[in-house]
Chains A and B, each alone.
Chain A
Amino acid sequence: MGKYQLGEFEEVVLLTVAILYGEAYGIAIIEEMEKRLNRSVSIGSLQTVLRRLEKKGFLTSEFGEATQVRGGKRKRFFTVTQYGRKTMEEIKEQRLGMWSAIPEVAFK
Chain B
Amino acid sequence: MNNHPPQLLLRFFRWFCHPDCQEDIEGDLTERFEKRVEEKGAFAAKVFFVLEVLKLLRPDIVRPMEGAQRLNHYGILKNHIKITLRYLKSHKAFTFINLIGLTTGILVCFFALLFVEFELSYDKYHENSEQIYRLVTDVQTPNGPRLESSSLPMAPAVAANFPEVADYSRVFLDYMIVQSDPETFMREDLAYADASVFSVFTLPLVASNSATVLDAPYDAVLSETAATKYFGTTDCLGKQLTLDGSTNVYVVGVMKDMPYNSHFRTDIFLSMKLLTEVWNPGMKDNWNAFGTYTYLLLKNKPPIASFNQELTDFVAGKVDKEQATFHMSVEPLTDLYLRAEARGFRTGSSVTGSINNVYILAIVALLVLSIAGFNFVNLSTALSLNRAKEISVRKVLGAAKRQLLFQFLADAVFLSLVAFTLALALFVLFSPFFNQLVGKPISTNIFNHLGFVGSLLALTVGVGLLAGIYPAFFLSGFDPVSGLKGKVKSGSNGHAIRKSLVVSQFFFSVMLIASTLGVYRQLHFMQNKELGYSKEQKLVLDFYMDKNIKENEKMVKQEILAIPGVTAVSMSSCVPGSTCRRYNFLVPGADGTITSFVSDLYRIDYDFIDQYKMQIVAGRAFQQELQSDIRKAIVLNETAVRTLGYADPAEVIGKPFDQKNWWKGTIIGVVKDFHFKSLKEKIEPLALQIDPSRFMFLTLDVSGSNMHDIVDKLEEKWGDFGPKRPFSYSFADQAYQAQYQSEDRFGKLVLIFASIALMLSVLGLLGLSALDTQQRAKEIGIRKILGASPSSLLGLLSKDFLLLVLVASALAVPVTFFGLSSWLEGFAYRIDVAWWLFAIAISVVVILSIVIIASQVLKAALANPIHALRDE
A residues whose Cβ falls under 8 Å from a Cβ of B? 25-27, 30, 42-45, 47-48, 51-52, 63, 69-71, 73-76
Interface residues of B in 7-24 (CB under 8 A from A): 21, 23-24
Report the stretch among B49-57, B499-507, B674-682 that lies at the interface: B49-57
Contact check, A48 vs B61: say whether CB atoms are below 8 A apart.
yes
Complex-state Cα separation, A76 to B56, whole angstroms: 17
Contact check, A48 vs B30: say whether CB atoms are below 8 A apart.
no
Min C-beta distance of A64 to chain B, whole Å? 9
A44 in contact with B56 given A27-B31, A27-B32, A70-B31 (CB within 8 Å) = yes
15 pairs from A and B in contact (CB 8 Å cutoff): A26-B25, A27-B35, A42-B55, A43-B28, A44-B61, A47-B28, A47-B61, A52-B60, A63-B23, A63-B24, A70-B27, A70-B28, A71-B27, A73-B26, A75-B27
Complex-state Cα separation, A50 to B185, whole angstroms: 89
Complex-state Cα separation, A51 to B60, whole angstroms: 7
Contact check, A76 vs B61: say whether CB atoms are below 8 A apart.
no
Contact check, A69 vs B55: say whether CB atoms are below 8 A apart.
no
Residue among A26, A47, A70, A75 making CB contact with B34, cutoff 8 Å = A70
Instruction: Point out the residues of chain B lying under 8 angstroms from A51, CB to CB.
Output: 21, 60-61
CB-CB nearest in chain A for B20: A51
Contact check, A44 vs B30: say whether CB atoms are below 8 A apart.
no
The yes or no answer to B29 lying at the interface (CB within 8 A) is yes
Complex-state Cα separation, A76 to B41, whole angstroms: 27
Complex-state Cα separation, A76 to B25, whole angstroms: 8
B residues whose Cβ falls under 8 Å from a Cβ of A? 21, 23-32, 34-35, 51-52, 54-58, 60-61
Contact check, A74 vs B60: say whether CB atoms are below 8 A apart.
no
Residue among A48, A52, A74 making CB contact with B27, cutoff 8 Å = A74
A44 in contact with B24 given A27-B31, A51-B61, A70-B31 (CB within 8 Å) = no
Contact check, A44 vs B55: say whether CB atoms are below 8 A apart.
yes
Instruction: Point out the residues of chain A lying under 8 angstroms from B32, CB to CB.
Output: 27, 30, 43
Contact check, B58 vs A74: say whether CB atoms are below 8 A apart.
no
Complex-state Cα separation, A36 to B495, whole angstroms: 83
Instruction: Point out the residues of chain A lying under 8 angstroms from B60, CB to CB.
Output: 47-48, 51-52
Complex-state Cα separation, A30 to B51, whole angstroms: 16
Complex-state Cα separation, A71 to B32, whole angstroms: 11
A42 in contact with B30 given A47-B56, A75-B24 (CB within 8 Å) = no
A44 in contact with B28 given A52-B60, A69-B34 (CB within 8 Å) = no
Residue among A25, A43, A48, A75 making CB contact with B29, cutoff 8 Å = A43
Complex-state Cα separation, A69 to B31, whole angstroms: 7
Complex-state Cα separation, A71 to B30, whole angstroms: 7
Complex-state Cα separation, A107 to B23, whole angstroms: 50
Residue among A26, A45, A48 making CB contact with B28, cutoff 8 Å = A26
Min C-beta distance of A8 to chain B, whole Å? 18
Contact check, A44 vs B57: say whether CB atoms are below 8 A apart.
yes
Instruction: Point out the residues of chain A lying under 8 angstroms from B52, CB to CB.
Output: 42-44
Min C-beta distance of B650 to chain A, whole Å? 112
Instruction: Point out the residues of chain B lying under 8 angstroms from A30, CB to CB.
Output: 32
CB-CB nearest in chain B for A46: B28
Complex-state Cα separation, A57 to B61, whole angstroms: 18
A74 in contact with B23 given A25-B28, A42-B55, A48-B61 (CB within 8 Å) = yes
Instruction: Point out the residues of chain B lying under 8 angstroms from A73, CB to CB.
Output: 23-24, 26-27, 30
Complex-state Cα separation, A8 to B35, whole angstroms: 28
Interface centre among B28, B56, B61 (most CB of A within 10 A): B28
Complex-state Cα separation, A76 to B31, whole angstroms: 13
CB-CB nearest in chain B for A66: B27
Contact check, B55 vs A43: say whether CB atoms are below 8 A apart.
yes
Instruction: Point out the residues of chain A lying under 8 angstroms from B55, CB to CB.
Output: 42-45
Min C-beta distance of A89 to chain B, whole Å? 26
Min C-beta distance of B16 to chain A, whole Å? 12
Contact check, A27 vs B26: say whether CB atoms are below 8 A apart.
no
Q: A43-B29, A48-B61 are in contact. List 12 more A-B contacts (CB 8 A).
A: A27-B31, A27-B32, A30-B32, A44-B57, A44-B61, A47-B28, A51-B61, A70-B28, A73-B26, A73-B30, A74-B23, A74-B27
Contact check, B61 vs A70: say whether CB atoms are below 8 A apart.
no
A26 in contact with B61 given A43-B52, A43-B56 (CB within 8 Å) = no
Residue among A48, A52, A76 making CB contact with B24, cutoff 8 Å = A76
Instruction: Point out the residues of chain A lying under 8 angstroms from B56, CB to CB.
Output: 43-44, 47
Instruction: Point out the residues of chain A lying under 8 angstroms from B35, CB to CB.
Output: 27
CB-CB nearest in chain A for B4: A71
- Give the 7 A-B residue pairs with the shortest CB-CB distance, closest first: A73-B27, A44-B55, A76-B24, A26-B28, A70-B31, A44-B56, A71-B30
Min C-beta distance of B725 to chain A, whole Å? 87
Interface centre among A27, A74, A75 (most CB of B within 10 A): A27
CB-CB nearest in chain A for B59: A48
Instruction: Point out the residues of chain B lying under 8 angstroms from A71, CB to CB.
Output: 26-27, 30
A25 in contact with B61 given A43-B29, A70-B34 (CB within 8 Å) = no
Complex-state Cα separation, A9 to B208, whole angstroms: 75
CB-CB nearest in chain B for A55: B60
Contact check, B25 vs A47: say whether CB atoms are below 8 A apart.
yes
Contact check, B30 vs A70: say whether CB atoms are below 8 A apart.
yes
Complex-state Cα separation, A51 to B18, whole angstroms: 11
Instruction: Point out the residues of chain B lying under 8 angstroms from A45, CB to CB.
Output: 55
Min C-beta distance of B828 to chain A, whole Å? 86
Instruction: Point out the residues of chain B lying under 8 angstroms from A70, CB to CB.
Output: 27-28, 30-31, 34
Complex-state Cα separation, A51 to B62, whole angstroms: 12
Min C-beta distance of A95 to chain B, whole Å? 28
Instruction: Point out the residues of chain B lying under 8 angstroms from A44, CB to CB.
Output: 52, 54-58, 61
Contact check, B24 vs A74: say whether CB atoms are below 8 A apart.
yes
Complex-state Cα separation, A51 to B31, whole angstroms: 20
Complex-state Cα separation, A50 to B833, whole angstroms: 88
Min C-beta distance of B567 to chain A, whole Å? 101
Min C-beta distance of B670 to chain A, whole Å? 106
Instruction: Point out the residues of chain B lying under 8 angstroms from A43, CB to CB.
Output: 25, 28-29, 32, 52, 55-56
Min C-beta distance of B36 to chain A, whole Å? 11
Instruction: Point out the residues of chain A lying under 8 angstroms from B25, CB to CB.
Output: 26, 43, 47
CB-CB nearest in chain A for B29: A43
Complex-state Cα separation, A74 to B61, whole angstroms: 18
Min C-beta distance of B504 to chain A, whole Å? 63
Contact check, A47 vs B27: say whether CB atoms are below 8 A apart.
no
CB-CB nearest in chain A for B55: A44
Residue among B24, B26, B30 making CB contact with A25, cutoff 8 Å = B24
Contact check, A27 vs B23: say whether CB atoms are below 8 A apart.
no
Instruction: Point out the residues of chain B lying under 8 angstroms from A47, CB to CB.
Output: 21, 25, 28, 56, 58, 60-61
A27 in contact with B51 given A70-B34, A73-B23, A74-B23 (CB within 8 Å) = no
Instruction: Point out the residues of chain B lying under 8 angstroms from A27, CB to CB.
Output: 28, 31-32, 35
Complex-state Cα separation, A48 to B23, whole angstroms: 15
Complex-state Cα separation, A63 to B24, whole angstroms: 8
Contact check, B31 vs A48: say whether CB atoms are below 8 A apart.
no
